[in-house]
Structure 1
Amino acid sequence: MSKRDYYDVLGVSRQADAAEIKSAYRKLAIKFHPDKNPGDKEAEENFKEAAEAYEILSNQEKKARYDQFGHAGNSGGFGGGGGMNMDDIFSQFGDIFGGGHPFESFFGGGSRSSGRRVQKGSNLRIKVKLTLEEIAKGTEKKVKVNKQIVCTTCDGSGAKDKSSFHTCNTCGGSGSVRRVTNTILGQMQTTSTCPTCNGEGVEITAKCTTCKGDGLERGEETITINIPAGVSEGMQLSMTGKGNAAPRGGIPGDLIILVEEVPHESLKRDGINVIYDLYINFADAALGTSVEVPTIDGKAKIKIDAGTQGGKILRLKGKGIPEVNSYHKGDQLIYVNIWTPKAVSSEEREILEKLKGSANFKPQPGKSEKSFFERIKEYFE
């Protein structure tokens, strides 16, 4: 099932600013929250869908990619939301609801422990080199990434062993502390992260000797990247959760993939079109011939009509690059160039001298052939 447009999910226009996006998500998060809709699977899916849309549209880079490339730029293996779980979603509430779980403050408590601070790992950036053929057809790349991974000794807990944990005395394991303040409007209750355990709910008495309590170590991961067809030089793709791991069970960062095009030996890219410069000699241009030209899919045989002029543009329809997230493909444009020899033999010179006087060999611009710029204009019209 295809994903809905993120702007439709939140019910905002494509011109909505950050404040409008945040406000729209806040309303949906309250409406479809699992604590308010216990056992309602549809509400839970709506809750996750809204969180996914907000995760993309609240991030300037991801929003820009989504606006330009749709779901191909941020989902289907790239971007956010698809791999989000409830812990990922609830970690957003610190920004949306000013810290903590919304239903603790609105309804006097909830079924979830909300004070625990969930940290996020840092993003990683890599470059992936792609040939023109790989860009045209899409490809799968396996890359080895050196990054921070969950400590294999303590499984990310940061503790030497299970006995090294004890419940925080300050917050009683909730990860948050509540304060009641008397104001002119009456008593107001606020919730903040526990300063003793930093929101963890537990304290560690003996740290892991491998990671020194961070829960992380350096490691290598082989990641499979599915590159959609039609990407371009400088385009950034994102894979959620494939960046550096976060301390003690936090949310992993993202892997940002920067596309780098490898120049083709004979073809040039111009947007979704492919350009090839064909050089033929004077005799072939005058008499006509058939030649093979390279394309993204291999060789193609084309006909050169007799009397072809230099600057003529031939077109192979549908032999270009597809647009990202679209079925539309560009063309291959073949620019015909007449090759003039720099040196000729005495016999060739004699033949050319005889031809010079022929009426057929006198230039007749404007009689039948259009100018180069007129042909360009005609092609694009």
Structure 2
Amino acid sequence: MARDYYGTLGVSKDASDQEIKRAYRKLARELHPDVNPSEDAQQKFGEVTTAYEVLSDPQKRKVVDLGGDPMDGGAGAGGGRGGGDPFSGFGGLGDIMDAFFGGAGGGGRGRGPRSRVQPGSDALIRLQLTLEECATGIDKEIAVDTAVLCDECRGAGMGENGSVATCDTCGGQGEVQSVQRSFLGQVVTARPCPACQGLGEKITDPCRKCSGDGRVRARRNVSTKIPAGVGDGMRIRLSGQGEVGPGGGPAGDLYVEIDEEPNEVFERQGNDLHCRLRIPMTSAALGASVPLETLIDGEVDVEIEPGTQPETELVFTGKGMPRLRSSGRVDGRGDLHVHVDVVVPSKVDEEQADLIRQLAKLRGEEAPELAGSGAHRGGLFSKLRAKK
């Protein structure tokens, strides 16, 4: 069933082009996403925009008046699937031949003017976050520079006394054609009209603020909720917060890309966190309890067992980064890995040296020995065996 484009704009079937234009401008001001953010209004804005695109195109409007729908292939009176001219949607076989080889008609048929109202582009902004902010999540106010709806003309592109006139160069077709001769005959090519940029119409009194584009560039603040667990390179999509389209068309989306700053203590590997804990050799030998400030859980105690060896790795299960699923929901957390570095003093005074010698004598370690033999143990220069 064909859609009621006239009813969508609230005009009669014999409405003039100016009446259709005024009706669209009035509805666009009420339903534009920047004015009315509700989902119902966005849907209606899309329907109104489609209706205006159809009824402002003479060829498409003709299809509507014949009982068809140009957005569904143009099937109407005599043009359905059951029969009739198979080339009726293109104006007949003769027009197709003319488009390639010319003919008595004197020219090809192009695609007609394009709508001045176009959807906007997506926008991308990078947001720097600390590792702490990535771990806990945060609400951010982001300053973005994008095209926004012109507040003077509300996207219509017209001044106070503005109106729309048919382009003199292309006669409202939105394109100009050129004919070249070849061995096949006349070849007709079409390109967008340079005078009206393919619109088929001109605004007699353009809006002074936007120069008829229906949008201006401006800086604005956008609120966004950054979920816990985001990481470097991830993108958050904010629907309808991108560039407003030409003619006040619906805005694209805004993508916020996370730029995670390095942390002085922790290194992130996926959902796990790694850090290095430097302890003196005395603490490694005797044991100790070392406080460690984490990103989420506050201060935790790292228990160093007596006899802890260099490169010992202590794992705290569930103390790492939140696991962020594709749905935006957090599902558990990674682990915290603490790598122990045993620091051996590079310089000792005479008293310290005497104490160390006494310890070595008590442990029978005055002369170090090479540990292991054979290829399977790493050969001669393997690790020194620590005597107990």
TM-score range, shorter chain: 0.5 to 0.7
Q: Which residue of 2 aligns with 1:40?
A: none
Are the structure 2 counterparts of residues 224 and 82 from structure 1 closer, same or farther at C-alpha, using a change threshold of 3 Å?
farther
2:116 and 2:247 in contact (8 A); partners too: no
- Distance between the aligned counterparts of 2:221 and 2:234, measured in 1? 22
Give 1:339's aligned residue.
343
Distance (whole Å) between structure 1 residues aligned to residue 231 and residue 347 of structure 2: 42
Deviation string 1:196-233 (CA, Å, 9 cap, x unpaired) is 97787975221111211111222111001222222221
- Provide the TM-score with structure 2 as the length reference: 0.57
Counterpart in the other structure of 1:244: 243
> Unmatched 5+ residue regions in structure 1?
1-29, 36-80, 178-193, 372-381
TM-score where L is the length of structure 1: 0.58
Tell me the equivalent position of 1:280: 279
Q: Secondary structure at the match of 2:358?
A: helix
Provide closer, same or farther for how the CA distance between residues 294 and 283 of structure 1 changes in structure 2, counting only shifts above 3 A: same
For residues 261 and 47 of structure 2, the distance between their equivalents in structure 1, rounded to whole angstroms, comes to 39
Q: Which one scores higher on RCO, CA 8 angstroms, separation ≥ 6?
A: 1
Displacement of 1:256? 2.4
Say if 1:365 and 1:301 are closer, same or farther in 2 by CA, change over 3 A.
Answer: farther
> What secondary structure sits across from 2:332 in the alignment?
coil
More helix per residue: 1
Shift of 1:363: 8.2
- Aligned to 1:252, the other structure's residue is in SS state coil
Within 5 Å, give how 1:239-318 maps onto structure 2.
239-297=238-296, 298-318=298-318
| Change in CA separation of 1:360 and 1:300 when aligned onto 2, cut-off 3 Å | farther
Q: Which residue of 2 aligns with 1:156?
A: 155
Task: Report the equivalent of 2:43.
Answer: 85
Q: Confirm or deny: 8 A CA contact 1:135 1:229 kept in the other structure.
A: yes
Q: 1:203 to 1:223 in 2, by over 3 A?
A: same
| Counterparts of 2:248 and 2:138, CA distance in 1 | 33
Q: Against the structure 1 CA distance between its residues 85 and 168, is the aligned structure 2 distance closer, same or farther, given a 3 Å change threshold?
A: farther
CA contact (8 A) 1:276 1:335 kept: yes
Secondary structure of the residue that 1:349 maps to in structure 2?
helix
Contact 1:117 1:175 (C-alpha < 8 Å) held by counterparts: no
The letter of the residue matching 1:85 is: Q
Contiguous gaps of at least 5 residues in structure 2: 5-38, 54-59, 61-68, 80-112, 176-191, 378-388
| Cα distance, 1:105 vs structure 2 | 2.2
TM-aligned CA deviation for residue 329 of structure 1: 1.1
The secondary structure found in structure 1 opposite 2:331 is coil
Amino acid at match of 1:165: S
Deviation for aligned residue 1:321: 0.9
CA RMSD of aligned residues (A): 4.1
